[in-house]
Amino acid sequence: MANGFSGGCLCGAVRYSCDGDPIMAGHCHCEDCRRSSGSGHSSHLAVPEGAVTMAGATTGYSRAADSGNLVTRHFCPTCGAAVYSTNPAMSGLVFLRASSLDDLEVFKPQMHVFAGRAASWDQPGGGLPSFEKMPPGMN
């Protein structure tokens, strides 16, 4: 993926481009991600903050996540689509929503986190490593 990738919200008012590849990609089953996604989990790609160029204003909502860290979720104020989140405990990274990608094949999941909180109808699978909470060194 030498040319990077791009994405944005449902209505197109918020767009981003990223130079380079994601450094991590996974599915999170914590309560915060479940509730904010409207499904059993949320899928994210972690990229260095300096590699992402954003266009368009977002609205942020901050809350302490299951990890205890304050997570700010950024979404489009027009269509409400979630685009990315930030977490001061993982400063320097932006967590892009996989659902916001223009090319969904960019997302190559590597793990499930907070698998211990997964809903009975959305259990981790796909042969990916599953972590009860966050993997060591990631919180």
Task: For 24-44, write each residue's pLDDT tens digit.
Answer: 999 898 888 888 888 888 899
**In terms of pLDDT, which residue wins out, 1 or 127?**
127
The number of distinct structural domains making up the chain is 1
Give the model's pLDDT for residue 7: 98
Tokens representing 117?
A: 């909180």
Contact 53, 17 (CB under 8 A): yes
**% pLDDT > 90, the chain:** 53
Compute the CA torsion angle 24, 26, 31, 37 (nearest 10 deg): 100
Give the model's pLDDT for residue 19: 95
Assess if residue 112 is contained within a domain. Answer: yes
Assess if residue 135 is contained within a domain. Answer: no
pLDDT, mean of residues 65-89: 90
User: Distance between CA atoms of 116 and 123, rounded to whole angstroms?
Assistant: 9
Which CATH number belongs to the domain containing residue 33 in this structure? 3.90.1590.10
Contact 126, 118 (CB under 8 A): no
Assess if residue 128 is contained within a domain. Answer: no
Comparing 14-18, 41-45, 106-110, 135-139, which segment has the lowest mean pLDDT? 135-139
Assess if residue 89 is contained within a domain. Answer: yes
Which residues make beta-bridge pairs with 48? 93
Assess if residue 138 is contained within a domain. Answer: no
* Letter string b/e over residues 62-86, b meaning 16 or more CB atoms within 10 A of that residue's CB: eeebbbeeebebbbbeeeebbbbbb
User: Distance between CA atoms of 97 and 99, rounded to whole angstroms?
Assistant: 5
Assess if residue 69 is contained within a domain. Answer: yes
Assess if residue 122 is contained within a domain. Answer: no
Burial of 36 (0-12, 13-18, 19+ CB in 10 A): buried
Assess if residue 130 is contained within a domain. Answer: no
Please write the tens of the pLDDT for every residue from 42-53. Answer: 899 999 999 999
Q: For residue 105, which amino acid is it? A: E
Please check the confidence at residue 67 and state whether its pLDDT lies above 80: no
Give the model's pLDDT for residue 55: 98
φ, ψ of residue 81 in degrees (nearest 5): -70, 135
Which range marks the domain in which residue 83 is found?
5-117
**In terms of pLDDT, which residue wins out, 120 or 102?**
102
The mean of the pLDDT values for the chain is: 89
Give the model's pLDDT for residue 138: 66
pTM confidence score: 0.88
Token pair 């689509």 is found at 81
